[in-house]
Amino acid sequence: MTKFQEPVTFKDVAVVFTEEELGLLDPAQRQLYRDVTLENFRNLLSVGNQPFKPDLIFQLEREEKLLMMETETQRDGCSGENCPTVTQHP
């Protein structure tokens, strides 16, 4: 007998931290959390099991972009008043 299972969704595999819990993570742990969460979401998208983008993904993608901008700024040797300002919004 064949049983049909519901498709796996992001909600099924996501680990969601409170703001307080996120505050306890060091930068490397925060980056690992962001990378793994985004990878899980993208994997679900690739198999068609995620019809919408959760708020958590928007937040993590925003963080990822800010981190990339900060890294590029540091790599380019930008310092002081010559650097563009990166502002993080909640």
3-state SS record for 44-81: HHHCCCCCCCCHHHHHHHHHHHHHHHHHHHHHCCCCHH
Structure tokens, 42: 């993208």
Instruction: Quote the pLDDT of residue 83.
Output: 56
Instruction: Give pLDDT, residue 85.
Output: 55
pTM to 2 decimals? 0.64
Spatial neighbors of 8 by CB under 8 A, at least 6 apart, are 44, 49
What does the pLDDT read at residue 81?
Answer: 54
DSSP 52: S
Q: Are 44 and 9 in contact (CB under 8 A)?
A: yes
pLDDT given at position 20? 95
The confidence score (pLDDT) of residue 82 equals 56
Instruction: Give residue 48's pLDDT.
Output: 83
User: How confident is the prediction along the chain (90 residues), in pLDDT tens digits per residue?
Assistant: 677 788 888 888 899 999 999 999 999 999 999 999 999 998 888 888 777 788 888 888 898 888 888 878 887 776 555 555 555 444
